[in-house]
């Protein structure tokens, strides 16, 4: 028998694991940057707890904000954790309702003013020319209105029956102009970008370019402007209620609680300081969240790959 030789197969070449990278989406980048901002994350958690306190708390707490059967000027106790006022209102129930109304006013103002202001600024920045001049002069007039104009508007239209939504409409009218100027500046830089020129070359209408290309790319600036609006509206509502032109009884708000307690600071300080604490917490947390969002949307941040 003849020996047969079998050629050995050469060893398989060592494979090199392919290294692949996937660029994160813009949303993922924003979330990662925001989560690195510890103060903003903590502020967001605290703000959400305040929202739960305002909207869920009244459903769980035993005393409604209209409750008046408590003892007058009772200091904080187990039965009335934040004390009571002269009429026997439970201040905890009143604070829940006041925080709820102040948040509703602020959120509605942010929604209306941001939406209208962003559209106004986008149109002005996109078309430029005489239309830009007219739109921005109108915005400038709104920006120069003194604070007394707010009080006059409330006195004429809502005095004796101011509701939270009525106050929100007046404050929205005075808040959109500043947002429009910020968005206009962003749009002026975006309109010269290549993707806008490409959209025009493909026959996209002006409305489509504004709604589908310009405003989405200005979303970071718009969101930050909305958070600033929430914080400033809380303070504006407080100031207006303090001088008697805000939400009226039988309803309440944080500003109205401050106004009611202004003569009792020395003898019953809890009536003044507890609502004031909620105002400060809301304003600070929203501002810190806005700072975190501003950093998260900053395009100069380094791209993160995995």
16 lies in some domain: no
CB-CB contact of 231 with 283 (8 Å): yes
Of 119-128, 160-169, 212-221, highest mean pLDDT: 119-128
* Enclosing H/E stretch for 269: none
Rounded Cα distance between 58 and 65, Å, is 8
| CATH code of the domain in which 188 resides | 1.10.3720.10
117 burial via Cβ count (<10 Å: 0-12, 13-18, 19+): buried
Confidence of residue 156 (pLDDT cuts 50, 70, 90): low
Confidence of residue 207 (pLDDT cuts 50, 70, 90): confident
Task: Give the model confidence (pLDDT) of 51-72 as tens digits.
Answer: 999 999 999 988 888 888 888 8
What's the Cα-to-Cα distance from 16 to each of 11, 12, 13, 274, rounded to whole Å?
A: 15, 12, 9, 65
Looking at residue 300, what is its pLDDT?
59
78 lies in some domain: no
192 lies in some domain: yes
Percent of the residues in the chain that have a pLDDT greater than 90, as a whole number:
33
10 lies in some domain: no
32 lies in some domain: yes
Task: Give the model confidence (pLDDT) of 255-290 as tens digits.
Answer: 889 988 888 888 888 889 999 999 999 999 999 998
Number of domains in the chain: 1
Q: Which residue range is the domain that position 279 belongs to?
A: 26-62+91-296
Rounded Cα distance between 224 and 114, Å, is 10
75 lies in some domain: no
Task: Give the model confidence (pLDDT) of 41-55 as tens digits.
Answer: 999 999 999 999 999
User: Above 70 in pLDDT, residue 162?
Assistant: no
47 lies in some domain: yes
Rounded Cα distance between 282 and 287, Å, is 8
Confidence of residue 197 (pLDDT cuts 50, 70, 90): confident
Instruction: Give the burial string for 242-281 (b: 16+ CB within 10 Å, else e).
Output: eeebbbbeebbbbbbbbbbbeeeeeebebbbebbbebbeb
Between 153 and 203, name the one with better pLDDT: 203
Give the residue carrying structure tokens 């929604």.
111
77 lies in some domain: no
Confidence of residue 305 (pLDDT cuts 50, 70, 90): very low
């Amino acid at each position: 028998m003849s020996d047969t030789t079998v050629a050995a197969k050469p060893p398989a070449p060592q494979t090199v694991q392919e290294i692949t990278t996937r660029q994160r989406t813009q949303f993922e980048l924003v979330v990662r940057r925001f989560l690195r901002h510890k103060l903003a994350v903590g502020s967001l958690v605290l703000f959400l707890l305040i929202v739960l306190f305002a909207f869920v708390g009244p459903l769980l707490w035993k005393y409604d904000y209209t409750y008046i059967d408590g003892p007058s000027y009772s200091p904080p106790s187990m039965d009335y954790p934040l004390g009571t006022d002269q009429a026997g209102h439970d201040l905890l129930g009143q604070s829940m309702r006041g925080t709820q109304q102040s948040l509703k006013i602020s959120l509605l103002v942010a929604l209306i003013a941001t939406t209208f202001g962003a559209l106004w600024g986008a149109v002005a920045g996109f078309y430029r020319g005489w239309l830009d001049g007219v739109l921005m002069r109108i915005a400038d007039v709104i920006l120069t209105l003194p604070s007394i104009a707010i009080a006059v508007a409330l006195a004429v239209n809502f005095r004796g029956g101011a509701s939270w939504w009525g106050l929100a409409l007046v404050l929205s009218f005075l808040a959109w102009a500043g947002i429009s100027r910020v968005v206009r500046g962003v749009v002026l830089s975006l309109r010269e970008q290549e993707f806008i020129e490409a959209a025009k070359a493909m026959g996209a209408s002006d409305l489509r370019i504004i709604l589908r290309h310009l405003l989405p790319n200005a979303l970071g600036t718009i969101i930050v402007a909305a958070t600033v609006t929430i914080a400033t509206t809380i303070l504006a509502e407080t100031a207006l209620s303090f001088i008697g032109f805000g939400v009226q009884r039988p309803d309440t708000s944080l500003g109205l609680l401050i106004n009611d307690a202004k003569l009792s600071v020395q003898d019953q300080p809890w009536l003044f300081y507890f609502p004031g604490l909620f105002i400060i917490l809301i304003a600070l947390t929203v501002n810190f969240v806005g700072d975190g969002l501003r950093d998260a949307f900053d395009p100069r941040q380094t791209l993160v790959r995995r």
